[in-house]
C-alpha cells in the first residue's frame, strides 16, 4: 500500500515540484494539494492521508494552526513541517503543535522522502540543522523545583 500524502504550500511551483518528485517514488502517492492552512484541514478530513507535508507560513490559516486542528481531529496523521525558517521559534512551535518532522526547504529531495518514510513508521525526523536547535532548546530548559524527579516521587519511592 502506498503512503498517501497531502502537500500544503502557498507556492504553486513548490507544490508541483514536490508532487512530481513524490510520484516517482513507488511507495508514495500524493492524494491532494492545498494552497493554505484552511484548505489543508478540509482535505485532511476528506482524504485522511498518512502524511501531510506542511509549509509553516501560509495564508488564511498558518501551518502551525492547521497542524493543531488536524491532529485534534485526526491524531493518526503525521505532519512534517517544511519551511525556509530554521529559527528556533518556528521549529519549536511546529513541534509543539504535533509535527513529527521538520525539514528546511533547501534540503535534498532524498531527505524529504526519508523523512516521510520514517514518520510513517512512528519515528521523528529533524534536519541536521534543526536537531541542533531542538537539542540546544532542550538543554537550556529551566526546570523548576516542582519539575524535578524528587518532587514527583512518593514518600515510599524516596
CATH number of the domain encompassing residue 74:
3.40.50.2300
pTM of this structure = 0.84
Residue indicated by cell numbers 507560513: 57
Phi then psi dihedrals of residue 2, to 5 deg: -75, 150
Residue indicated by cell numbers 489543508: 40
User: Strands across the sheet with 78-83, in order?
Assistant: 28-34, 3-8, 51-54, 78-83, 101-104, 125-126
Given pLDDT bands bounded at 50, 70 and 90, which one contains residue 1? confident
Across the range 108-134, mean pLDDT stands at 90
34 within a domain of the structure (yes/no): yes
The confidence score (pLDDT) of residue 131 equals 78
- Burial (0-12, 13-18, 19+ Cβ within 10 Å), 42: middle
70 within a domain of the structure (yes/no): yes
The confidence score (pLDDT) of residue 132 equals 74
Which DSSP category does 145 fall into? Answer: G
The confidence score (pLDDT) of residue 148 equals 52
- Residue 52: its H or E element: strand 51-54
145 within a domain of the structure (yes/no): no
For residue 55, give the C-alpha cell.
509549509
The confidence score (pLDDT) of residue 50 equals 98
37 within a domain of the structure (yes/no): yes
Range of the domain at 123: 3-130
7 within a domain of the structure (yes/no): yes
Across the range 134-141, mean pLDDT stands at 67
Count of domains forming the chain: 1
Q: What is the pLDDT of residues 78-115, one digit of tens each?
A: 999 999 988 888 888 999 999 999 999 998 899 999 99
The confidence score (pLDDT) of residue 85 equals 85
139 within a domain of the structure (yes/no): no
Strand partners, 78: 51
Q: What is the pLDDT of residues 26-79, one digit of tens each?
A: 999 999 999 999 999 999 999 999 999 999 999 999 999 999 999 999 999 999
Residue indicated by cell numbers 492545498: 34
On the CB side of 83, how many CA atoms lie within 13 Å of its CA?
A: 28
86 within a domain of the structure (yes/no): yes
109 within a domain of the structure (yes/no): yes
Q: What is the pLDDT of residues 16-25, one digit of tens each?
A: 999 999 999 9
Burial profile 137-158: b = 16 or more Cβ within 10 angstroms, e = fewer: eeeeeeeeeeeeeeeeeeeeee
Amino acid at each position: 500500500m502506498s503512503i498517501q500524502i497531502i502537500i500544503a504550500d502557498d507556492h504553486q511551483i513548490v507544490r508541483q515540484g514536490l508532487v512530481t518528485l513524490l510520484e516517482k517514488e513507488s511507495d508514495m502517492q500524493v492524494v491532494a494539494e492545498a494552497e493554505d492552512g484552511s484548505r489543508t484541514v478540509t482535505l485532511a478530513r476528506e482524504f485522511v492521508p498518512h502524511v501531510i507535508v506542511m509549509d509553516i507560513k501560509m495564508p488564511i490559516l498558518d501551518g502551525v494552526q492547521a497542524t493543531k486542528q488536524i491532529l485534534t481531529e485526526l491524531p493518526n496523521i503525521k505532519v512534517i513541517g517544511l519551511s525556509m525558517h530554521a529559527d528556533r521559534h518556528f521549529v519549536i512551535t511546529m513541534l509543539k503543535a504535533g509535527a513529527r518532522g521538520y525539514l528546511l526547504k533547501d534540503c535534498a529531495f532524498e531527505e524529504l522522502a526519508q523523512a516521510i518514510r520514517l514518520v510513517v513508521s512512528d519515528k521523528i525526523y529533524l534536519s541536521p540543522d534543526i536537531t541542533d536547535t531542538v537539542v540546544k532548546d532542550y538543554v537550556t530548559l529551566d526546570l523548576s523545583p516542582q519539575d524535578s524527579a524528587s518532587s514527583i516521587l512518593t514518600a515510599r519511592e524516596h
